[in-house]
């Protein structure tokens, strides 16, 4: 029986890839020919929703009403390549995703993400990192809603890693609330090193916004610590910093 289950799982994984590739091709067409960033964002978000719907992946979304009507900064844990498309499918189209700069080295992916309004952050050169950070802070100060994975990347180790400061600096300087989001299930579906997804239920918990004007927060570091703690309370994963504090 386990061999039948394994075979069905592989067949589903191949089907999911076919659906994903069709969605990517549609999205590439959209971002190439559709004028206007709002329309491109709306259509790529609809395509992301379709990918999960057509794959038969159940997605439980809790707390969508917690998102402010105005601009804000969303921060989520990062466990899989599935996280980005999942957030794009769930969040309103107005959000610009902040993505690691290495994606610039993959021409088709870079073109698709850039035309859909994503922003990129260089992680390995000081000059590039400072330049990108200034542009993101400027976008936040201009009132643009931003979505971050503040861990920066993910690996095989299960748990929540250290949060980089960029999202919280942007929120503080842009005077925008921070909305923590806990994503579950994506690590099981497609963990680091695995290229064939497994069928499973996914979950998104959108938590209450944190105001940068709250006197509890001394600076962006304390804001980051609070957002991280709130995600950990929901996430069924260990704290990777628990025994690794500076």
32 in a structural domain: no
List strand residue ranges (DSSP E) for the chain, in order: 59-62, 73-76, 96-100, 119-121, 146-148, 178-184, 202-206
For the stretch 59-68, pLDDT in tens is: 999 999 999 9
Is 43 contained in some domain? no
Q: CA 172 to CA 211: how far, in whole Å? A: 9
Can you tell me the distance from the alpha carbon of 20 to that of 23, in angstroms, rounded to the nearest whole number? 5
Count the domains in the chain. Answer: 1
- Cα–Cα distance for residue pair 217/41, rounded to 1 Å: 33
Q: Could you tell me the CATH number of the domain that includes residue 195?
A: 3.40.1130.10
Give me the pLDDT at residue 246, please. 47
CA–CA separation, 153 and 58 (whole Å): 25
Distance CA 92, CA 48 (A): 12
Q: What is the pLDDT of residues 136-172, one digit of tens each?
A: 878 777 778 899 999 988 888 899 999 998 888 888 8
Q: Note the pLDDT tens digit of each residue in 2-20.
A: 778 888 899 999 999 999 9
Kindly state the average pLDDT of the residues 220-246.
87
List the domain range (segments joined by +) for residue 73.
Answer: 57-234
């Amino acid at each position: 029986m386990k061999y039948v289950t394994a075979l069905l799982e592989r067949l589903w994984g191949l089907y999911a890839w076919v659906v994903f590739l069709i969605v990517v091709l549609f999205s590439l067409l959209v971002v190439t020919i559709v004028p206007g960033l709002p329309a491109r964002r709306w259509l790529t978000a609809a395509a992301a929703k379709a990918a999960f719907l057509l794959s038969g992946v159940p997605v439980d979304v809790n707390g969508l009403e917690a998102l402010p009507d105005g601009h804000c900064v969303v921060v989520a844990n990062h466990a899989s390549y599935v996280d980005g498309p999942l957030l794009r499918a769930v969040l309103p189209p107005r959000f610009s995703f902040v993505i690691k700069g290495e994606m610039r080295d993959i021409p088709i992916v870079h073109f698709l993400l850039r035309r859909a309004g994503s922003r990129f952050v260089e992680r390995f050169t000081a000059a590039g990192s400072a330049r990108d950070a200034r542009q993101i802070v400027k976008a936040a100060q201009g009132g643009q809603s931003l979505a971050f994975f503040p861990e920066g990347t993910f690996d095989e180790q299960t748990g929540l890693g250290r949060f980089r400061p960029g999202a919280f600096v942007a929120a503080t300087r842009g005077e925008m609330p921070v909305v923590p989001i806990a994503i579950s299930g994506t690590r099981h579906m497609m963990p680091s090193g695995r290229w064939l997804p497994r069928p499973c239920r996914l979950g998104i918990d959108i938590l209450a916004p944190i105001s940068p004007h709250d006197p509890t927060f001394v600076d962006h570091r304390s804001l980051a610590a609070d957002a991280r703690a709130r995600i950990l309370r929901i996430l069924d994963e260990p704290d990777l910093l628990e025994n690794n504090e500076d």
